């Protein structure tokens, strides 16, 4: 290889200035050095700090905007507003991938029925569950009881109970993965329930009372630290809830990521 070709390929592999700038700012955002909702430094300040041209700064901003880490506001009070990644972003991205693969709602339900009980087991095994798990569960459970006569509101709050279980399992990675599935499932469930809730077809009073009792049993098992029985009970509970929802879509609904934006 001629020396000139070697230098050309070396330059091709080297990160562009915009990528280096974006990487530095990305690290500051993700580390919390620049807080959620803050504005990035103005263009003049970035030019002075990085000693680069205006096009490099603008390209770096486009990279961060594409990643969803900033939202550029135009006008006299404009600027680059920082947006720390949220679980809802992961849920939407997961929904897009599943939709591209024509995944079914049943597929999502099956994954939840397998992974949800694992979150319950981990919550049971937390030595601090009396402070980190049960108070949050009891709070949402009390709010669910208050909505016992309102089918649609009861459905939302009952789903929140499951989300809290996932959020407090103590494993951030599993919590994010299952939480994304929960969000995706809840959005589709809401669409199926909406036209049927007024008539009480989707959630009867009997079903709501049964759900309440099962949530209370789960809290008892978590309180006792009985991980094995709690996991098994959660598996039965989630499988039953999944079958109930899927009966209203016998044709096999496919995942639609856009529902997460509408929910």
Domain ranges of the chain: 3-82, 87-262
Integer Cα distance of 212 and 122 in angstroms: 22
* Location of structure tokens 């509408």: 262
pTM metric for this prediction = 0.80
**pLDDT at site 4:** 53
Indicate the angle between helix axes 134-146 and 151-167, nearest 10 degrees.
180
152 membership: H or E segment, kind and range: helix 151-167
Equal fold, 3-82 vs 87-262: no
Q: Is the pLDDT of residue 130 over 80?
A: yes
Integer Cα distance of 57 and 46 in angstroms: 7
pLDDT digits (tens, 9 = 90+) for 12-42: 445 689 999 999 999 999 999 999 999 999 9
Which DSSP letter does residue 81 get?
A: E
pLDDT digits (tens, 9 = 90+) for 187-218: 999 998 887 766 667 888 999 999 999 999 99
Q: Is the pLDDT of residue 227 over 90?
A: yes
Please, which pLDDT band fits residue 261 given cuts at 50, 70 and 90?
Answer: confident
For residue 116, CA distances in Å to 46, 72, 75, 94, 235 come to: 45, 37, 46, 17, 7
CB atoms within 10 A of CB 203: 19
Supply the mean pLDDT for the chain.
Answer: 90
- For residues 241-246, average pLDDT: 91
Query: Would you call 170 helix, strand, or coil by DSSP?
Result: coil
For residue 237, CA distances in Å to 27, 55, 123, 241, 258 come to: 42, 56, 16, 6, 28
CATH T-level topology, domain 3-82? Arc Repressor Mutant, subunit A (1.10.10)
- For residues 145-170, average pLDDT: 94
* Location of structure tokens 């700012």: 25
* Cβ pair 104, 184 in contact under 8 A: no
Q: Rg of the chain's alpha carbons, rounded to an integer? A: 24
The secondary structure of 190-226 as a DSSP string is HHHHHHHHTTTSSS-HHHHHHHHHHHHHHHHHHHHT-
**CATH number for the 87-262 domain, one of 1.20.1250.20, 2.60.40.10, 3.50.50.60, 1.20.120.530?**
1.20.120.530
pLDDT digits (tens, 9 = 90+) for 75-117: 666 789 999 988 888 999 999 999 999 999 999 999 999 999 9
């Amino acid at each position: 290889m001629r020396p000139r070709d070697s230098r050309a390929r070396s330059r091709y592999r080297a990160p562009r200035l915009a990528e280096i700038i974006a990487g530095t700012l990305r690290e500051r955002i993700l580390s919390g050095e620049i807080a959620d909702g803050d504005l990035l430094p103005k263009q003049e300040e970035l030019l002075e700090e990085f000693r680069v041209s205006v096009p490099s700064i603008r390209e770096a901003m486009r990279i961060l905007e594409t990643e969803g880490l900033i939202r550029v506001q135009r006008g006299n009070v404009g600027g680059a507003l920082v947006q720390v990644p949220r679980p809802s972003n992961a849920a939407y991205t997961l929904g897009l991938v599943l939709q591209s693969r024509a995944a079914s709602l049943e597929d999502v339900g099956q994954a939840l029925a397998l992974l949800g009980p694992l979150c319950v087991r981990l919550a049971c095994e937390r030595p601090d569950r009396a402070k980190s798990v049960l108070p949050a569960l009891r709070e949402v459970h009390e709010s669910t009881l208050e909505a016992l006569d309102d089918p649609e509101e009861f459905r939302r709050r009952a789903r929140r109970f499951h989300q809290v279980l996932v959020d407090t399992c103590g494993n951030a990675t599993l919590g994010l993965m299952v939480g994304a599935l929960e969000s995706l499932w809840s959005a589709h469930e809401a669409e199926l329930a909406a036209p049927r809730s007024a008539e009480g077809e989707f959630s009867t009073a009997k079903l709501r009372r049964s759900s309440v009792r099962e949530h209370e049993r789960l809290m008892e098992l978590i309180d006792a630290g009985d991980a094995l029985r709690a996991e098994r009970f959660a598996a039965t509970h989630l499988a039953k809830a999944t079958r109930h929802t899927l009966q209203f879509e016998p044709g096999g609904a496919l995942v639609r990521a856009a529902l997460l934006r509408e929910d």
